[in-house]
Amino acid sequence: MPAPLLKATALQKSYGEQTLFNIPCLEIYEGQRIGLVGENGCGKSTLLQILNGSLAPDHGQIQRRCKIAFLQQEDSLHPFSVHDLDSSARRFLPQGPGKSGGELRRKGIAAVLSQNAPLLFADEPTNNLDLAGITMLEESLLHYRGAVVFVSHDRELLDRVCTSLWALDGGELRIFPGNYSAWAAQRQQERDFAQFEYDQYQKQRNHLIAEARNLRQQAKSMNKAPKRMGNSEARLHKGTVTISQAALQNRAKAIDKRIALLEKKDKPFQAPGIKMGADSKGFVSQTAVRIEHGEVRRGNHLILEDVSFTLPSGSKTVLLGENGAGKTSLAEYLLSGGPGVSLAPGLETGFFTQHHEILDPDLTVLENAQADSCLTEREVRSILANLLLPAKALQKPVHLLSGGERAKTAFARLLASQRGLLILDEPTNHIDFLAAEALEQFLLAWKGTLLLITHDRRLAEKIGQRLLLVEKGHVCTFEGTFSQWQASQKPASNDSLLILIEQMRRAAETPKGRG
């Protein structure tokens, strides 16, 4: 068997009193494509930094037997000049003076991949990428010559790329063969078995408790000697009762010992389920939103013209387009009631933005979630629990929260407000896969009207009943699901990123002064 590219033993890292992880051993071999998953704040980025050598562990040894390339969350620039690249590679780069975060992110990805290191670490590589960029990244990882370990909450990427999965949970690293779906299925089987064991434990324990209680009840209720009984007979009766009572008490004590010897099974965590109180109100109109011949501007610049579409009441529509195409501007235009926009009478709207402006930074998590709520505090707490915000975090001011916690709090505030129209702009950014799954389940069951802006392919496919496509300054409607739309498109060429990577590699290998 070949030696691993990297081996770590007895790896430990803590911050203050909190132990992030304690990993006895991990190994990375040539050709592996490993997805690293876990809840927000569990230590995924820290683990990558330690394995890369940019951060020291508290304890442990790491053997690195090859060159390592590291794509961090904020990498966007690269050390090569555009003039080092040929025209085919330059076409992939940002054009003009403006460079979006997604465009710069593509450039950074290409720079790191072009190093052709035998081992690549990537931390949230899909950050700031649109659908085209994510598809290009996916192809690049699938064709990468070395081993790859990457942190991601993109379930579709994890499914398509991974050969194995590392799950960081409660300070332990568990290793699973296969992709995200295989791991999720195994995780559900383990949860189901843990629930079965807990139910059996409770059933047996309750049966024994009831049996001991009945024996003590029998002992307590034994008849006293009848009044007409003579003294000798009464003494004999009392002795018999005492012996019988002692026997019953001993049997009860023996059962108590059996209860104490039972192997205790802890109750598995189970979210309480989001219950939204009263049934959804009936729609007053078949159309929630109508836009006719609208014009969307960014400042004085016209970015979308002759915009006309409808959002049927109760529909779930996904808004797709490249970075900078005008998706968020279109949502803001709709909400502002710009020329040509009409909403159903009495329709209340809620808007989830990428920067969570809906939140008051000085209020606590619970206060923010209740601010516009039509629900009881118990129902609001249920929503927060489903989004994996623990009870101890509910009294924390929002300005002290992480990005993922702020996103979850903003979701909770919107969900609790029960608005008739929700517009969600990249709702799965910054949150872990468990919270994304909880949000997905709510949106599937929700009866209101939804406009969803997302680059999360799994979420788009599961939620979207129809699409709005923003392209080249226009908006068109596609009546069908995300996968149906993909099937209708001509296969897109992803050669541009691969060309850019190759050109960057050649530029790095060309001696200075040559040309």
Q: Which CATH class is domain 287-480?
A: alpha beta
pLDDT at residue number 236 = 60
Candidate from 45-59, 76-90, 195-209, 440-454 with smallest mean pLDDT: 76-90
Over residues 140-165, the pLDDT tens digits come to 999 898 999 999 999 999 999 999 99
Closest CA relative to residue 347, chosen from 413, 423, 445: 423
pLDDT at residue number 101 = 58
How far is residue 369's CA from residue 398's CA, in Å, rounded to a whole number? 11
**Do residues 154 and 126 touch, judged by C-beta distance below 8 A?**
yes
Q: What is the pTM of this model?
A: 0.79
Candidate from 280-284, 290-294, 448-452 with smallest mean pLDDT: 280-284
Residue 23 predicted with pLDDT over 80: yes
**Do residues 445 and 472 touch, judged by C-beta distance below 8 A?**
no
Residue 83 predicted with pLDDT over 50: no
Q: Output the CATH code of domain 6-178.
A: 3.40.50.300
pLDDT at residue number 122 = 95
Looking at residues 40-66, what average pLDDT do you find?
94
Residue 494 predicted with pLDDT over 60: no
pLDDT at residue number 88 = 36
At 123 the three-state DSSP class reads strand
How far is residue 236's CA from residue 515's CA, in Å, rounded to a whole number? 118
Residue 277 predicted with pLDDT over 60: no
**What long-range pairs does 6-9 form, CB within 8 A, spacing at least 24?**
6/51, 6/62, 6/63, 6/64, 6/65, 6/66, 6/68, 6/119, 7/62, 7/63, 8/50, 8/51, 8/60, 8/61, 8/62, 8/63, 9/60, 9/61
Q: Please, which pLDDT band fits residue 273 given cuts at 50, 70 and 90?
A: low
| Every domain of the chain and the residues it spans | 6-178, 197-261, 287-480
pLDDT at residue number 239 = 63
Residue 78 predicted with pLDDT over 50: no
Amino acid code (one letter) for 334: L
Sheet containing 349-352: order of strands: 349-352, 421-425, 449-453, 316-321, 466-471, 474-478
Closest CA relative to residue 122, chosen from 133, 137, 132, 107: 137
Amino acid code (one letter) for 36: L
pLDDT at residue number 91 = 41
